[in-house]
Amino acid sequence: MNKFSATLIAAGFVTFGAVALAQSGQNPTNGAVSPLEPIYACANKTDPTERLACFDSAVASIRAKEAKSEIVTFDKQRVEKVRREAFGFSLPSLPKLGFPAFGGGPKADNKDQSVAAAAVADDIEEQSFTVVSTRESAGRIVITLENGQVWRLTEAGELNAPKRPPYSVKIRTAAMGSFILTVEGRNKGYRVRRVE
């Protein structure tokens, strides 16, 4: 994954936060209502004909906004996939961006948090990967994983691993935003940093 892809993932999280914000009906900057508010208003109509016309109009408006990418939606599986692909990269903290559905800004009135909040609540602490290649660059071992991620050992030295890939590794989060790689079946851990 290159820097452009990482930027796209970060932008996706920001966009996703905006959708979650829309779900909460709040805007931290100007107090505007949710883009979904017209649909909610239609639910209050009692006359069936008026209610149907209201829903038709609201759906047409949302489809137009979706076509212009003003509204973007993600399901929980897609959020999880992005989180796993972004493992090892430093992305903006969604609560720090002020989106209520992610724990920032004012809380929503109901206790039911969005799918987004549930997906981001539990940080990924460890993942298993398959190594497809290793090489040396500037005195450090560089490891390419099956999913395309590239990690570099932060310390010089040999990697106690099978002579040739493929083999399995685990990468886990460590103190102060660092990561530790361990080769399956070995006890030694190596500090690593994601580079792609």
pLDDT greater at residue 156 or residue 142? 142
Q: Is residue 185 over pLDDT 90? A: no
Separation between Cα atoms, residue 43 and residue 34, nearest integer Å: 15
**In terms of pLDDT, which residue wins out, 20 or 159?**
159
Q: Distance between CA 196 and CA 184 in Å, rounded? A: 22
Q: What is the pLDDT of residues 35-92, one digit of tens each?
A: 788 899 999 999 999 999 999 999 999 999 889 988 877 778 887 777 777 776 665 5
Residue 180 β-bridge partners: 172, 191
What does the mean pLDDT of the chain come to?
73
97-111 pLDDT, tens digit per residue, is 444 444 444 444 443
pLDDT of 91 reads 56
Q: What is the pLDDT of residues 150-180, one digit of tens each?
A: 999 888 888 878 888 899 999 988 888 888 8
pLDDT at 126 over 80: yes
Tokens read off for 160: 């106690």
Q: Which amino acid is at 96?
A: K
Tell me which residue of 50, 47, 9, 32 sits closest to 194, measured CA to CA. Answer: 9
CA distance 82 to 28: 25
Long-range Cβ pairs for the range 137-141 (8 Å, 24+): none
The answer to whether residue 22 scores a pLDDT higher than 80 is no
pLDDT of residue 177: 80
Q: Which sign does the torsion angle of CA 28, 106, 16, 52 carry?
A: negative
pLDDT of residue 124: 72
Is 0.95 surpassed by the pTM of this model? no
Per domain, the residue ranges of the chain are 3-35+71-121, 126-194
Residue 85, CA distances (Å) to 46, 89, 173, 192 in order: 47, 9, 15, 16
Which string of b and e fits 81-117 if b means at least 16 CB within 10 Å?
ebbebbbbbeeeebbebbbbbbebbeebeeeebbbbb
